Amino acid sequence: MQGAEPPFPQRTQVAIIGGGPSGLLLSQLLHLAGVQSVVLERQSRDYVLSRIRAGVLEQGLQALLRKAGVGDRMDREGLVHDGFAISFSGEARRVDLADLTNGATVRVYGQTELTRDLYEARDALQGAIVHEADVVGVDGIDSASPQVRFEHRGQTHHLAADFVAACDGFHGAGRRAVPSSAIKTIERVYPFGWLGILSETPPASDELIYAHHERGFALCSMRNPQLSRYYVQCAADEDLAEWSDDRFWEELKARLPEGVASGLSTGPSIEKSIAPLRSFVAEPMRYGRLFLAGDAAHIVPPTGAKGLNLAASDIYYLSEALIAFFSSGREAGLKDYSDRALRRVWKAERFSWWMTALLHNFPSLGAFERRMQTAELDYLFSSRAALTSRAENYVGLPYD
């Protein structure tokens, strides 16, 4: 296990809670601009690197990784996708992203790989990362010198900083440190989950397939040409133990067009899990000297794979603002951070919600609403204007 050992630094410029993609990318960008930080991560590195998450990278995230000096492996091994398919009424229809967006594409590269690259880059620069550091509170966030309190192997430690970046995910400690009167949370929980598997089989197709079907949504995705990721919509309280691999493959095939199902390579799953679907935003994303970024501030349902990409745009805005402050004392970026990040967050929330609503079988939908879904899909593929709007969201809205 790698990471800093005691005695830990007691003071830094930016204390970063969370060593997921948000926290690591922030520490790397700050370091390259001469700003010090310490990352406090509750879990071991092996645990962080065992989490399976999505991996469709927008252009903005790709550019940011290159700027952070961690784009080489992504550029070598990541798969460029210039389109994807949506299947409905028994047929798969292609969305030609590159054609609709003047050449924009996305890159398929697993979040696990990206996180590994970030850890390696931080190690190469001797970045301070404390693992098994469970942050239990942040004191003095409305003063000029906030302090992060954390527990490491039974001992309590304190880290003083000029600023605190809460990059500690949905269940983290950062958001909880903000007085409830100073933060508003807006949430929608969807009445279903995604049952996902990873299998060492070639993907169903060269491109992702999102399937609308009366039995429920399905998705064929991939990590690389030998590793596939598949999902089927399931009940929110589904029991994983009831899903043998055979049952999963049968259900997936039943939701795919005949031509795709018949050519599907099946095999044993190497991971199987159920994820709930939620839309969530906490606003504002700043309180005093504490800034929220990534999953700590917002969650999108996975349809459209915007979670990681939104974390990246937050980190872009926040790193710019902190670097401007430390290099020239300018505070404008820090003041604008929350508004600027939230404008992009809400647009991605809207797109993820739209894609989720369009493609899933909601238990409450009557015959009329189901027909509205297929009519909308039919319209989408008959109108270049409609498809262009969806494509520009899928490849990622600009960081403005």
From the list 60, 78, 169, 304, which residue makes contact with ligand APR (rule: CB under 6 A)? 169
159 interacts with, out of ligand PHB, ligand APR, none, CB within 5 to 8 A per kind = none
What residue ranges bind ligand PHB (CB under 6 A)?
54-56, 208, 219, 221, 229, 302-305
Minimum separation from the CB atom of position 372 to ligand PHB (A): 22
311 interacts with, out of ligand APR, ligand PHB, none, CB within 5 to 8 A per kind = ligand APR
CA angle (306, 209, 352) in 5-degree steps: 25
168 binding ligand APR? (CB under 6 A):
yes
17 interacts with, out of ligand APR, ligand PHB, none, CB within 5 to 8 A per kind = ligand APR
221 interacts with, out of ligand PHB, ligand APR, none, CB within 5 to 8 A per kind = ligand PHB
Q: Nearest 5°: phi and psi at 96?
A: -85, 90
Q: Which residues have CB under 8 Å from 237's CB, separation 6+?
A: none
Minimum separation from the CB atom of position 260 to ligand APR (A): 26
Minimum separation from the CB atom of position 231 to ligand PHB (A): 7
Using the minimum distance from each CB to ligand PHB, give the nearer residue, 17 or 234. Answer: 234
What Å distances lie between residue 315 and 16, 138, 208, CA to CA?
12, 20, 27
112 binding ligand APR? (CB under 6 A):
no
- Beta strand 128-130 with 286-287: parallel, antiparallel or unpaired? unpaired
Residues designated as active site: 81, 210, 302, 306, 394
Minimum separation from the CB atom of position 221 to ligand PHB (A): 3
What whole-number distance in Å separates Cα of residue 119 and Cα of residue 122? 5
Instruction: Determine the angle formed by the axes of helices 59-67 and 307-328, rounding to 10 degrees.
Output: 40
Q: Which H, E and C letters describe the chain, residue by residue?
A: CCCCCCCCCCEEEEEEECCCHHHHHHHHHHHHCCCCEEEECCCCHHHHCCCCCCCEECHHHHHHHHHCCCCHHHHHHCEEECCEEEEECCEEEEECHHHHCCCCCEEECCHHHHHHHHHHHHHHCCCEEECCCEEEEEECCCCCCCEEEEEECCEEEEEEEEEEEECCCCCCCCHHHCCHHHCEEEEEEEEEEEEEEEECCCCCCCCCEEECCCCCCEEEEEEECCEEEEEEEECCCCCHHHCCHHHHHHHHHHHCCHHHHHCCCCCCEEEEEEEEEEEEEEECCEECCEEECHHHCEECCCCCCCHHHHHHHHHHHHHHHHHHHHHHCCCHHHHHHHHHHHHHHHHHHHHHHHHHHHHCCCCCCCHHHHHHHHHHHHHHCCCHHHHHHHHHHHHCCCCC
55 interacts with, out of ligand PHB, ligand APR, none, CB within 5 to 8 A per kind = ligand PHB
Site residues (CB under 6 A) for ligand APR, limited to 280-339: 294-295, 307-308, 311
19 binding ligand APR? (CB under 6 A):
yes
Using the minimum distance from each CB to ligand APR, give the nearer residue, 88 or 119. Answer: 119
Minimum separation from the CB atom of position 84 to ligand PHB (A): 8
From the list 27, 111, 313, 319, which residue makes contact with ligand APR (rule: CB under 6 A)? 111
Using the minimum distance from each CB to ligand PHB, give the nearer residue, 174 or 302. Answer: 302
Q: x/- contact string, 120-139, with ligand APR (CB under 6 A)? A: -------------xxx----
Using the minimum distance from each CB to ligand PHB, give the nearer residue, 227 or 324. Answer: 227
304 interacts with, out of ligand PHB, ligand APR, none, CB within 5 to 8 A per kind = ligand PHB
Minimum separation from the CB atom of position 207 to ligand APR (A): 20
19 interacts with, out of ligand PHB, ligand APR, none, CB within 5 to 8 A per kind = ligand APR
Minimum separation from the CB atom of position 157 to ligand APR (A): 12
From the list 15, 35, 40, 285, which residue makes contact with ligand APR (rule: CB under 6 A)? 40
127 interacts with, out of ligand APR, ligand PHB, none, CB within 5 to 8 A per kind = none
The contact set with ligand APR (CB under 6 A) reads 17-23, 40-43, 48, 53-54, 111, 133-135, 167-169, 172-173, 294-295, 307-308, 311
